[in-house]
Amino acid sequence: MTVLCVRRLAALRPLAWLAAAVFLACLAGRAVAAEPIVVRLDQARVFKLPERATTVVIGDPLIADLSIQPGGLAVVTGKSYGATNVIVMDRGGAVLMENQIEVKGPVEATVVVYRGISRQTYSCLPDCEPRVTLGDTGKDDFDDKTGLYTDFFGKTLGQSSARNSQAMTAGAGGAR
C-alpha cells in the first residue's frame, strides 16, 4: 500500500511543476504589462522616460500631448476624452516603452445641464460658473429650420482646436 502512495505522488510531480511554471509565467506577464497613464482633461501628469530614449510618438495628438523635459521626464497633457498610446524608442529604433494613455473627465464638482440633446457644463468650485467642455452645445449649434443640432463632429473638432490654441496663447503669455 505504501508503494502505491509513493507512485501516485511521483505521478503528480510533473503536474505540480507544470502548475508552478504556469503560475510564474502569469506573474512575469503581469510585471511586463504596464498600467495605463491616466490623465484628466486639461490637466498634466509627469512620468519618467526610460534610459536611452530618443524618440517619443503619441498615437493621437488630439487626445493627448506630450512634451519632453530635462532629466528624462515627460509631461503628458489631456486634450480630449479617449485613449491613445505612447511609444518610446532608442536611437536604433528599438521600442523601450509602449503604454496606453487614458484621458478622463474632470473630477471636480461639475453640473451638466441637458436640454434635449443640448448640453452645458458648469464648474461648481464653490459657485457654479460656465465651463468650456468638449461636446457642450451652444446657442449657435441649433438650426431653427430643421430643429436639429448641426455638424456635431465638426463643431467638436473646432471646439477642440480653438480651446487648444487658446491654451497655447495663454501659456505663451504667462512665459514672458
pLDDT in tens, 61-88: 989 999 999 999 999 999 988 999 999 9
Per-residue pLDDT for 90 more than 80? yes
Q: Is the pLDDT of residue 7 over 70?
A: no
Q: Give domain limits for the chain.
A: 37-104, 110-174
Banded pLDDT at 123 (limits 50, 70, 90): confident
Sign of CA dihedral 154, 167, 131, 63: positive
At the topology level, CATH places domain 37-104 in: Immunoglobulin-like (2.60.40)
Give all strands (DSSP E) within 10-167, no chain letters: 37-40, 44-48, 55-58, 64-69, 73-78, 82-89, 95-104, 110-115, 118-124, 128-131, 142-143, 148-149
Instruction: Look at residue 97 and tell me whether its pLDDT is greater than 90.
Output: yes
Answer whether residue 89 shows pLDDT above 80.
yes
Give the lowest-confidence range in 29-43, 46-60, 108-122: 29-43
pLDDT of residue 153: 52
pTM of the predicted structure, to 2 decimals: 0.59
CA 132 – CA 119 distance, rounded (Å): 11
What residues contact residue 31 under an 8 Å CB cut-off, 6+ apart?
A: none
